[in-house]
Chains A and B, each alone.
Chain A
Amino acid sequence: MSKALLYDSTMCIGCKQCEAACAAQNKLPYDDRVAAESVQSEHKYTVVLTRQDKFMRRLCMHCEHPACASVCPVGAFHKTAEGPVVYDVWKCIGCRYCMVACAFAQPKYEWQSLNPRVRKCIMCPERVKAGQQTACAEACPTGATKFGDRDDLIKEAQERIRQNPSNYVPHIYGLTEVGGTCVLLLSGVPFEQFGYPAPNKVGDVPMPEYTMRVLSKIPDFIPLWAVVLGGVYWISHRREDVAAVEAALKKDGGAR
């Protein structure tokens, strides 16, 4: 069963313990200066955004059908059975198609490096595999970030909205977006205010389907097109042969 994270922004107090825990887990520098940065980057996989008294986390959504894994020419990304979408750096050639393709703009790049890597939240795959929760969920003092089975978390999220409908926008972000994600979000204000693509804009269709609609036709297209091209060649050259034979016959006939 797939694991997931449920982030309930109404419970978040903006303490940024998740940021610090994430940095520690991934051996990234973390100090007041990094804490003050309000954008994700190659050294900050998750960020807690603040708008007045509202908070919102940004992190990799760990899509059920990840665009990054689908577009990578060398398959450097893959979705694990437990849920995390992970990255094999030794395969990566640095084309950055993953960054362009991600609807949530999550993959970040080491622009200053001479051997750059793509960086993003990988949902602590070793911890998850060992049955532990992610570092951010463990660090969260209020339970705003909660780790668990995706199905259980969905039920819990639905329950929270039902019990306190006035607290929430009536939507679990990630339940159906791009075919479902392993990070589920609850919020009191529209998700777009924090840079999430609007649910109606990003849609429920898994992103890889858009390209597979075309790619899946290629195996049929190749032999078909090859036969057509070969046929054109044959016909156009056959005409030449026929013309030559006819000319010869004519000449022959005239001589007789």
Chain B
Amino acid sequence: MKFKLTLWKLVFVVIMGLGVYSAYVRYAHGLGAVSNMNDQFPWGIWIGFDVLCGVMLAAGGFIVTGAVHLLNIERLHSIVRPTVLTAFLGYCLVIVGLCFDLGRPWFIWHQLIYMNPHSVMFEVGFCVMFYTTVLFFEFLPNVLERFNLKRPLKWVKNVMAILVVAGILLSTLHQSSLGTLYLIMPSKLHPFWYSPALPFFFFGSAIAVGLAMTIFESSLSSRAFGRQLELPVLIELGGALLVVLWVNALLRFEDFFHRGQLGNILKPSYEAYFLWLELALAFVIPIALLSFKKVRHSSNGLYLAAVICLLGFVTNRLNVSVTGFETWVGHHYVPKWTEFMITLSIIAGGFALFGLAVKYLPIFPQEEHRVANRVAEPRPLGVAPVLEHAGD
């Protein structure tokens, strides 16, 4: 195969190179050298983004498998495989991210023997571990089909319903428990974000983001791999997203109201600016956009709404994990460049692995012939070429 250096490949190589350097600093000189975390800010973006957002962005897996296998919505079938792939990669990358963040990652298996059932972290850890296993089995048919292993394929398909139920159960638990993690800090976390309802918000936002991420990932791969966009499917997801966003927004409003924060959120303050940004991106703009039928029925409109919504909920989780602590701590936390590079290279690695999987596995089986004969198409999207050549 001819190797062609494109701009995006160059960007990928640069990110990965700097990521490798940062990883070296992390393991050769310690957490203090690689990050701006300190005793006041023991959790930085590796928890705030890599774990909290990573798990949230991988939520599409349990939602789409649930819709197809549990609710029996056959017409969504075509997006199950890419969504499961996204989720499986997402969880694997969360674990990779954890191996950078944990001070003693070589003892991560202690989770299995020194169990503390009173710890939310223990529950999250176990759920993530089991759910990654479930996702592995949900993803396995791709590999089995590729190598034409019919009997094991049949076994996996026979237990698929159980896997899907287990996946939803585990996801419900740990998606909400990521919010429960913060319940023990009522005096530290800013009242804009500390709420007894945090577990519900984390679960609700996971459903919204799972839908938005599925729209995002479908739009992206349709452009990158020259696939036909499943527009009717995305329109349906967009409609569901609108409803879920409304429910989320109403719950947040209720919460602000009952905790007497409505007056405070309108007053300008450091936290209020971040809250406004979060609420605008997560709720106001996507809901406004999706309310127009024209937007909801156009691939670009859906893509735009999904991306803004994703940014909004990422802002939300960073607010919970970083912004919300800054007043209590008394100073700001800004990640060091090496911290960013680790996170960026994990994301870049995710894109590359997705591209590789699509190239070598029957993720989009019914369209293989089209991929083979595809002609050059306009690519309006920046990141798409990364995906396209990721497998080279």
Chain A positions within 8 Å of B, measured between CB atoms, are 40-42, 67, 70-76, 91-97, 99-101, 103, 105, 108-116, 197, 201-203, 207-208, 210-215, 218, 221-222, 225-226, 229-230, 232-233, 236-237, 239-240
Contact = CB atoms under 8 A, between A and B. Distances in A.
Main SS of chain B's interface residues?
helix
A214 to B, nearest CB: 5
Contact of B108 (A93, A113, A225, A240): A93
Nearest to A232: B70
Contacts of B168: 229
Contacts of B165: 226, 229-230, 233
14 contacts: A91-B110, A92-B104, A94-B105, A103-B187, A111-B37, A113-B30, A116-B31, A211-B118, A212-B118, A214-B177, A215-B123, A218-B123, A229-B165, A236-B70
Given A95-B121, A112-B33, A218 B39 contact: no
Interface stretch (B178-186, B215-223, B251-259, B300-308): B178-186
Indicate the size class of the contact surface on chain B. 35 or more
A222 B226 CA distance: 42
Nearest to B166: A226
B350 interface: no
Contacts of A215: 117-118, 120, 123, 180
A65 B30 CA distance: 32
A206 to B, nearest CB: 10
B111 A93 contact: yes
Contacts of A221: 173
A212 B29 CA distance: 37
B104 A233 contact: no
Q: B28, B66, B104, B108: which has the most chain A beta carbons within 10 Å?
A: B104
B266 interface: no
Given A96-B103, A240-B72, A101 B184 contact: yes
B60 to A, nearest CB: 18
Contacts of A229: 66, 70, 165, 168-169
Interface string B217-242: 00000000000000000000000000
B187 A105 contact: no
A165 to B, nearest CB: 28
Contact of B169 (A40, A73, A226): A226
A135 to B, nearest CB: 23
Contacts of A111: 30-32, 37-39
Contacts of A112: 29-30, 32-33
A236 B32 contact: no
A210 B70 CA distance: 34
A74 B186 contact: no
B172 interface: yes
Given A93-B103, A94-B105, A114 B32 contact: no
B120 A91 contact: no
Given A73-B116, A236-B70, 9 more contacts: A71-B119, A73-B121, A73-B125, A74-B110, A99-B39, A116-B30, A203-B186, A222-B173, A229-B165
